[in-house]
Amino acid sequence: MTKRLYYDSSDTHEFDSVVEDVVRPSAEQSRPAVILRETAFYPTSGGQVHDTGWLTVEGAERLRVGEVVDAEDGRIVHYLEPTAKLPPAGASVHGSIDADRRREHMQQHTGQHVLSAAFIELYQMPTVSFHMADDYCSIDLATPAVSPAQIVGAEKRANEIVFENRPVRVRYVSRAEAEKLGLRKLPPAERDELRLIEIADFDLSACGGTHVGASGQIGSIILRKSERVRQGTRVEFVCGDRAVRLARRDYTALSEAAALFSAKLWDVPEQIRKGFEDSKVLRKQKDDALDELAELMALAALHSQPETNGRKIVVRAFSDRDIGFAKLFAQKVTRAGTPTIALVASAVDPPGLIFAQTPAQTSGGAPGSATDMGALLKQVLSSVGGRGGGSRDFAQGGVPAGSNIKVERLLQQAAGTIGS
């Protein structure tokens, strides 16, 4: 088993050791790795993410440690970059861990102890798991819901513990002793000796992670989103450096939004709400205006079009209106009362065609005189490789994107087919 220097001191960032074993790259693992006699590198475990850093082999290069893993046999495996030249077993090394990264992890991890204890103290909500991601952390609480007031309450209590700068101590006890102490969390029975982390007069739990020496070093604890998950409720939070970084990022985003509205930060939600309302009204006004325009254009087109064989044929290509308007126009033309066939197109990208006719029942026209719009559209489009279809009375389609096909020519072709 590797001796773990971080058990006794979370502040040991530099250490000397000896290479005990090396792991050469294999088919399953492309990175070489080393195992040391003792190490200050923390391996990923208990929700806390591993350290990174450097190993300097005497008389040789510095090796980057990219990942640290706790193997099942109790050895700590330091993974190096794929190109690293492995030192021989027995070589002396000097280890340096990335102190900023470690401190940030200790803030999150100790913050989690405080927060979990606060949720127990105030609301009797036990923590079932802890997760540390790149830019946030989360705990899962065994409860179906956490109210916004409880989020604020737990955050307030956790920060009180931070501000009181309570000592955080490590001690070792036997399992039998630990059972009498009433720990917040007792690990599964594996070892006889347990490592306890005590936040003075507030929390006592068994943990193998790295922690700050006093609660003030956590910095501050900010709770963010909470959501329902399978095993309860997940609460996201950030501490210390991470809290400052995220608050800075949020502030920058909110400031940009506020500048766009020429508003104060806290007025942004109201401005957005107002913007939504305004755009809803404008969209309604635009739809109404287009409907009226289509109606008037349909009436004008029908008025100027003579009736032949008991029906009118309206042919219209729009160069400046989209297919949605073409469809609206075709509907107005075919529902105005006179049996009508509308052959309509929009040249606006993507160009499209609408073929519609007044349904036989409502027009009172003889069904035999009707043309099948779906079939007509398919026939016209097949000559140019377009796609579309529809029913007997209404069909819609498009010509291939980017083609030079003139929709006017397709309308003339369709009109010619009906007319003949």
CA-based nearest residue to 169, from 118, 132, 203: 203
Shortest Å distance, C-beta 211 to Zn ion = 6
Closest to Zn ion by CB, 114 vs 381, is: 114
How far apart are CB 11 and Zn ion at their closest, in Å? 16
Parallel/antiparallel/unpaired status of strands 203-206 and 340-346 = unpaired
| Minimum gap (Å) between residue 168 Cβ and Zn ion | 9
C-beta of 209 vs 365, nearer to Zn ion: 209
What strands lie across the sheet with 312-318, from one edge to the other?
Answer: 312-318, 340-346, 352-357, 394-398, 387-390
- Minimum CB distance to Zn ion smaller for 191 or for 286: 191
Dist. CA 383–CA 277, nearest whole Å: 47
Using the minimum distance from each CB to Zn ion, give the nearer residue, 209 or 352: 209
Strands 33-36 and 387-390: unpaired
Token digits for 142?
A: 């065994």
Q: Shortest gap between Cβ of 48 and Zn ion (angstroms)? A: 7
Query: By C-beta, is 209 or 232 nearer to Zn ion?
Result: 209
Closest C-alpha to 327, from 354, 298, 359, 357: 354
Cα 87 to chain centroid, rounded: 42
DSSP string, 311-347: BEEEEEEESSS-HHHHHHHHHHHHTSSS-EEEEEEE-
Min CB(10)–Zn ion separation in Å: 10
Strand, helix or coil for residue 239: strand
The residue sitting closest to Zn ion, measured at its beta carbon, is: 207
> Judging by DSSP bridges, how do beta strands 53-57 and 168-174 pair with one another?
unpaired
Element (H, E) at 414: helix 407-419
The smaller minimum CB distance to Zn ion, of residues 207 and 336, is found at 207
Distance CA 326, CA 347 (A): 10
CB of 197 to Zn ion, least distance (A): 5
CB of 255 to Zn ion, least distance (A): 36
Token digits of residue 150: 């409880």
Is the CB of 207 or the CB of 399 nearer to Zn ion?
207
Using the structure block, give the residue that is written with the tokens 């409860």: 143
Query: Please, are residues 161 and 215 in contact by the beta-carbon 8 Å criterion?
Result: yes
What is the closest distance, in whole angstroms, from the C-beta atom of residue 113 to Zn ion in the complex?
A: 5
Q: What's the min distance (Å) between Cβ of 109 and Zn ion?
A: 5
Q: Where are the alpha helices (DSSP H) in 266-322?
A: 268-304
Residue with Cβ nearer Zn ion (204 or 347): 204
- State in angstroms the smallest separation of the CB of 112 from Zn ion: 7
**What is the contact surface with Zn ion in residues (CB under 5 A)?**
207, 209
Q: How far is CA 114 from the centre of its chain?
A: 28
Lookup: tokens for 217: 């070093």
Structure tokens at 151: 């989020």
CB closer to Zn ion out of 76 and 373:
76
Token readout for 223 is 């709770």
* Closest to Zn ion by CB, 48 or 357: 48
